[in-house]
Structure 1
């Protein structure tokens, strides 16, 4: 069945580049029966395995075509670049700085070239053309970007901070003209470019970057493109894929990270909201794995009893430390915990500094919105609540070195010690106007603002801003409207003032002092009345309101519920969180519409030490959730969907996390697993295609550690081993080093006979194994 043909040339100058072990059909059958027996499958075999075994003898290749590249090649891209209906190959040669086009040409006798004293001949039926690029190419894609009927090439050049467009044309003018689109911090890797074609519209080019995804529209030869940035939640992404994983008819964005810092959330899905708009990212947990390939959905589900809805293709990963290949499908499943997995609303890849978030109705639609203060870049970012989805607006500049913010009557108040004290911003489209100075006494040195409280003048409905100010050396005061209350007993400068509702219609004022216990006051009418607080109200704790007259103080591994009544504060109870490494950085109360709140989680403790959220009632911890809960800046509750149950909102260093009540989760459900026979095996590349003409997709897996190729035959819902062989010499080569070989594999119809062939980039060669055509050759069976 396997007839090895060599490239045309002198025998002395042509080496046999690889060799193939041809396994007889009986040997293959015995091997597969042994594998199935060891796997514990019952006998007799199911029909699908009988069919698969009967097809194992069909895998064969009519020889091998070897192309001399002159140096290590890659990345590569198959496309009909000359528009003649045949599939061509574009390969980047970094050592030469050239993009080589291998063009299908039945009239060609091959390409003859001399190098290092050797005369080498590429196979007949192909011609080559070179393009000098002038910058290292990491990824290649193609589409008719300008709608002129000619295919254009897109090259990603991260080292030069640009994407290069080679414009297609007729004949010799093809790729003679080009344009550059300058982009910062483009991600490296061969899967960082994606082009979405649109009916009656020009395509959209998406480029993965270290800060997110660039969306580039209106690309043409005579116009400037429109560039928009989708901020990402990680800087380690190296793979960008378009796929409708939610099956709503729109292409979603999937990014896959290779960074250890992103574990165990290597896969992130950004669902489409239609019309080129996007919902928050979902984090999918994957403990370990190197992404290899995505294959279309198979004919049936491997888990017949599963009630979950399998979506999209199978995603293949290889484990880094074991010779194990695994396949996953993305499924939507109801959350098994009180809070679903976090949705990530990315705001800034560079971080928000000591960011703050406040809630209030910005647009007057009755829904509570959010506003994030980016202290690092001095910006305000509105987050609009649109039908239960949090959608970021336009970041807007604000006061320099901002410290805090408050939302009041649709306006945002921003404080800054160095830039005017208080600035007032109003909504302007999807962003904010530049701050207008507030009416404050310029002689006061503003430290902090707490919020609005009834004005001491007694006018009904009139509110005034409560502020903490520095009057002089070791002299501080609280100010509410025209009323000022000195803090004579404070020796160390306070850091903040907080305002909470009291149990008798009054307000509780908390003055936080570094390294000292907080100072409590009751604000009644126009007086600040001291509240006697116990020593158990520790210094350095974070204070939140549970209910009118009830506070929650968290520190280290514990939370204390404090009751304030009759100008006295006392600790009701203490809730200890589990774990020896617990470090609480915040907590909040979660309202619930449950008929018995004591049975529901009404408290959420954020444990940064264990990267967990502990859900509790006012007596004990009920459950703990593991997740990406590090670098939390602020915690608050928000009823996003208006069902009476609060969701949990966490402000991180560069994003918002939203955890919904009993929502649904996207998960990676394992559907395929195979362990190699050799412990030193590592699958490093994969491709899929129908390699024996039976209409079922098969897999080609490259064992880069051993230099072998393996074919996994497709069944109705899985893959089983069918054929394997070594594919290259063990020694090094000119222009390359000792590394993973082969480096890349693809399955395409490369000879125009309608059958899928295998292509490999290996050492300094391109090797093609054409699939044997049973209609034109004698069946060896």
Structure 2
């Protein structure tokens, strides 16, 4: 569990913040004006959190080596203070108070990443300038560029991401807006970004989110957009104007390359991430299903169709996103679940314990109730057997565990009849306790049972 917050959004992210190559956990404490940092140790475990003063009301966190010096910068967007701050660990492993990034306007959403191959990361922000939306890019050396966006763009976006959505080799910007089309800022070499509003496949939704994955194994990542119980992998493409079109302008549409369904028709998918699937070209895809409260694993079958392989029940349901991270290894091996007040990790490498059912047993005693069970070797075959305390009709029900790992009924008898002990304490289920041990000193295990105020011993013959 994380420090509790009542904010609708809090900044939470996995990223390497101290330059040791290991992903760490950053958690904003919006009401307290702090950032808690959980550093990852060499074995994959996390240290106790260290809290550092920060901006209040931080809703978004991004991490990137902005100036290319090998030391990651941490970007913090504060909705309360209407500012973006940047900080990084110093030589004493402290996180100084963030330095404010000069911006003309109120920042709404941000993203940090390289806009061109081989370049240093760029800070990209959509700002509100007295009701007018603008797109601002800023590099570590202070170079900034502002592009005014459409006058009809009045809404507040909830997500901004950097992704080559049309797969032309140039990074684009994608802004998601509740109940509205996807706003795409296409990068055009030597020109301003081309602003496009594109209808999402399946229609607009209340809480849009996105992910990226190479679902077809061609080496290029597709954009994943959700529609309640399924995801669609899309690529932006130009559509030539029709013969009856009033203009000669081309439009942009999402070309659906694949669809991945959730576990059921009532699924509500709110997050997705991928992990490498051995030597397969297509990764394993994990879906966060809020309605069914499961983490769903999907993989391609032999015919290339995405299928649900497994559903993992979640310990708590206060999660809103997924992220693939590396814990104790150099490559991603863990699915990290993030929420407003919780964070969890599901490791998918190394040795793990798993329970599997070997056999089952149902007592043949009519109206019987198996209240408890103990184990012990009652036939000297080296395997422990089971003694069930049946309290509906007051029996001992013995079941042997065979070498084939099966539960085999052995013997059962009624320890007492109710009328025999009428009036004696009825506060306990009887027989209530039992023990298997060598009580007679002959090297053979015996059975002792507590019934009411007596101890009954059954020596092994």
TM-score by length of 1: 0.40
Work out whether 1:102 is the aligned partner of 2:38: yes
Out of 158, 163, 166, which is 1:246 matched to?
A: 166
Q: Distance in 2 between matches of 1:241 and 1:339?
A: 35
2:271 aligned counterpart, secondary structure: strand
Contact 1:81 1:88 in 2 (8 A): yes
Instruction: Confirm or deny: 8 A CA contact 2:165 2:172 kept in the other structure.
Output: yes
Counterpart contact for 2:34–2:56, Cα < 8 Å: no
Structure index of larger Rg: 1
Asked if the contact 1:75–1:140 (Cα under 8 Å) also holds between the matched residues in 2, the reply is: yes
Structure 2 counterpart of 1:273, from 178, 185, 188: 188
Q: Is the 8 A contact 2:30 2:59 kept in 1?
A: no
Give the Cα separation in 2 of the matches to 1:132 and 1:701. 35
2:66 to 128, 139, 145: 145
Q: Tell me what 1:235 maps to.
A: 154
Instruction: Select which of 231, 235, 239 maps to 1:326.
Output: 231
Alpha carbons of structure 1 residues 779 and 708: separation in structure 2 relative to 1, 3 Å: closer
Give, in angstroms, the shift of residue 174 of structure 1: 4.4
Residue 280 (structure 1) shift: 4.4
1:269–1:743 distance in 2 versus 1, CA, 3 Å: closer
- What is the CA RMSD across the aligned residues, in angstroms? 3.6
Query: For the residues of structure 1 that align with 2:329 and 2:262, how far apart are their CA atoms?
Result: 35
| Structure 1 contact 742–760 (Cα < 8 Å) conserved | yes
Residues 755/664 of structure 1: CA separation in 2 closer, same or farther (3 Å cut): closer
SS at match of 1:728: coil
Distance 1:133 1:693 in 2: 43
Query: In structure 2, do the counterparts of structure 1 residues 339 and 288 end up closer, same or farther at CA, with 3 Å as the change threshold?
Result: same
Q: How far apart, CA to CA, are the structure 2 residues paired with 1:218 and 1:281? A: 24
> How far apart are 1:683 and its partner, in Å?
1.4
Whether the 8 Å CA contact 2:211–2:223 is kept in 1: the answer is: yes
1:733-768 CA distance string (max 9 Å, x none) = xxxxxxx72222212112326352011235733211
Paired residues, what number? Answer: 346
Aligned to 2:368: none
Q: How far has the Cα of 1:137 moved from its partner?
A: 1.1
Indicate conservation of the 8 Å contact 1:167/1:176, yes or no.
no
Q: Is the 8 A contact 1:206 1:213 kept in 2?
A: no
Q: Which residue of 1 aligns with 2:444?
A: none
Query: In 2, Cα distance between the equivalents of 1:704 and 1:145?
Result: 35
Q: Does 1:749 align with 2:332?
A: no
Aligned to 1:86: 22
> SS in structure 2 opposite 1:186?
strand
**Separation of aligned partners in 1, 2:204 and 2:146:** 32
Q: Which residue of 1 aligns with 2:397?
A: none
The 1:334/1:754 distance shift into structure 2, 3 A limit, reads: closer
| SS across alignment from 1:720 | strand
Contact 1:692–1:771 under 8 Å retained in 2:
no
Equivalent positions of 1:411-430 (< 5 A) are none
Q: Which has the higher contact order (CA 8 A, sep 6+)?
A: 1
Task: String of CA shifts for 1:639-671, please: whole Å, max 9, x gaps.
Answer: xxxxxxxxx4xxxxxxxxxx52xx464334262
Quick one: which of 240, 249, 270 aligns to 1:335?
A: 240
Match of 1:521 in 2: none
Q: Deviations over 1:355-393 (max 9, x none)?
A: xxxxxxxxxxxxxxxxxxxxxxxxxxxxxxxxxxxxxxx
CA contact (8 A) 1:696 1:714 kept: yes
Partner of 1:698: 284
Spell out, residue by residue over 1:252-295, the C-alpha distance to the aligned partner (whole angstroms, 9 max, x if none).
2222221x3x3xxx123332221463234253454234533323
Q: CA deviation at 1:130?
A: 1.4
**1:79 touches 1:142 (CA, 8 Å); kept in 2?**
yes
Which residue does the alignment assign to 1:295?
A: 212
Give distance in 2, aligned partners of 1:674 and 1:153: 35
- String of CA shifts for 1:155-181, please: whole Å, max 9, x gaps: 111332211111443333544563343
Q: Which runs of 4+ in 1 moved over 6 A?
A: 777-781
The within-5 A match list for 1:98-247 is: 98-106=34-42, 124-175=45-96, 178-187=99-108, 192-196=110-114, 202-210=120-128, 211-220=132-141, 226-232=144-150, 234-236=153-155, 237-247=157-167
Check the 8 A contact 2:223/2:233 in 1, yes or no.
yes
